[in-house]
Amino acid sequence: MSDSKLEELEIRLLLEAVFEKYGYDFRDYAMASVRRRILSFMEIHKIEKISELIPLVLHNKKTFNLFIKRLSITVTEMFRDPFVYKFIRENVIDILRTYPFIKVWHAGCASGEEVYSLAILLKEEGLLERTQIYATDFNNIALNKAKEGIFDIKNIKKYSVNYRDAGGKDSLSSYYHSKYDSVMMNNELKKNITFANHNLITDTVFGEMHLIFCRNVMIYFNKELQGKVFDLFDKSLIPRGFLCLGSKESLKFSTIEEKYNTLGLKERVYQKLS
């Protein structure tokens, strides 16, 4: 067996062990992405072989928590891809406005920057008070950070530019207060957000959603796993509901493609037909 085949076997054994003991399922993640993150983790912690990592992850909870954090790293920012939020403001909001109560699922919310971005948008459009946002992630460390709504002040300048480009109607500073080197999002945004642990791979449907946000999460999944998640989203959306994906994700060639109309190709915004 070649070294590369042996390495792949060890990775699969590691992922199987993590699933069996902890219930975190990375087995259908894209192998190249998983391998890169595992090797990065090993380099940081000076572990030479994957076979040495397996018992550490299984028997040392601290190592496991660090390992999960490394595998689930997400790059996010407030109003990331501002044109997406502007599109939603101009093409989706008026339809959402016709509902007496709105339910939004932000799947894979990571540390929460984009959840608060969506809450700000809904507030400015007069819809936040009658909207319930469900922000979910399988990583409790990221989820706790999202609940706190505390972010590094050094990023605020970029976030403010994003907010403006997304069609913001006020000043981003209206939605947070700063202290030392951090900013904390206002409680008026938090009160309509429910943060919860949810695993897209193993957990069940979130029903009767008007809008599902899941951006740049499935780029790490293989085709089979993407299909399972698309089916989950389809079952969770009401007829005529909206699905927003990341810039490198698409419904094209998916099993649910024919059930959706593409509202914004560049923005990756889709509407369920019925």
Share of the chain above pLDDT 90, in %: 72
Instruction: Say if residues 90 and 47 touch (Cβ distance below 8 Å).
Output: no
99 shares its domain with 155 = yes
- What is the token pair recorded at 249? 């994700």
What pTM does this model have? 0.85
Same domain, yes or no: 61 and 93: no
Provide the pLDDT for residue 97.
97
Q: Which of 38, 71, 104 lies at the terminal end of a domain, its last residue? A: 71
Give CA–CA dist 254/58, Å, rounded.
36
Whether residues 176 and 244 share a domain: the answer is: yes
Q: Are residues 110 and 177 in the same domain?
A: yes
Q: In the predicted model, is pLDDT for residue 200 greater than 90?
A: no
CATH number of the domain where residue 109 is located = 3.40.50.150
**One domain, residues 96 and 174:** yes
The structural domain count of the chain equals 2
Alpha-carbon span 121 to 80, nearest angstrom = 13
pLDDT digits (tens, 9 = 90+) for 66-89: 898 888 766 789 999 999 999 999
Q: What residues make up the domain containing 23?
A: 3-71
- Calculate mean pLDDT across residues 173-189: 95
Q: Are 96 and 141 in a shared domain?
A: yes
Residue 28 binned pLDDT confidence (cut-offs 50, 70, 90): confident
Q: Two tokens at 140? A: 């409790």
Domain final position from 51, 71, 91: 71
Rounded distance between C-alpha atoms, residue 108 and residue 74, angstroms:
9
* Average pLDDT of every residue of the chain: 92
In a domain? residue 77: no
- Please count the other Cβ atoms lying within 10 Å of the Cβ belonging to residue 160: 16
Residues 51 and 118 in one domain: no
Do residues 103 and 37 both lie within one domain?
no
Q: Flag whether 31 is in a domain.
A: yes
Do 86 and 49 lie in one domain? The reply is no
Residues 198, 257, single domain; the answer is yes
